[in-house]
Amino acid sequence: MHCRICGTSKKVKYRRGPRMSLCPDCAAGTPKKATYEGFTKRYWADPALVSESIKREFYNDYKTSKCTLHEYIDATSSWIS
């Protein structure tokens, strides 16, 4: 098993808060993660218009980041006026 963030195989275990396997160092800096359903509802304005593969790709990117959901949305989106 490897850490989903840094890739090490040392002292890696599944962490329930971040919802993935992490080493102690990455676990210390990774916040609790939203479920896929929660992420989809908050990230996409209209989830029905986005393909499942794109939604999964963004969710996987979010999960392996050290961002909260709010931070991830701010970092990866912009408002259209």
**Roughly how many angstroms between the first and final C-alpha of the chain, as a whole number?**
45
Rounded Cα distance, 36 and 64, in Å: 13
Beta bridge partners of 13: 22
Q: In whole angstroms, what is the distance from residue 54 CA to residue 48 CA?
A: 12
Q: How confident is the model at residue 80 (pLDDT cuts 50, 70, 90)?
A: confident
What integer pLDDT is reported at residue 70 of this predicted model? 97
Task: Identify the band that residue 17 occupies on the pLDDT scale cut at 50, 70 and 90.
Answer: confident
**Residues 31-40, mean pLDDT to the nearest whole number:** 95
Where are the domains positioned within the chain? 1-30, 32-81
Q: What pTM was estimated for this model as a whole? A: 0.82
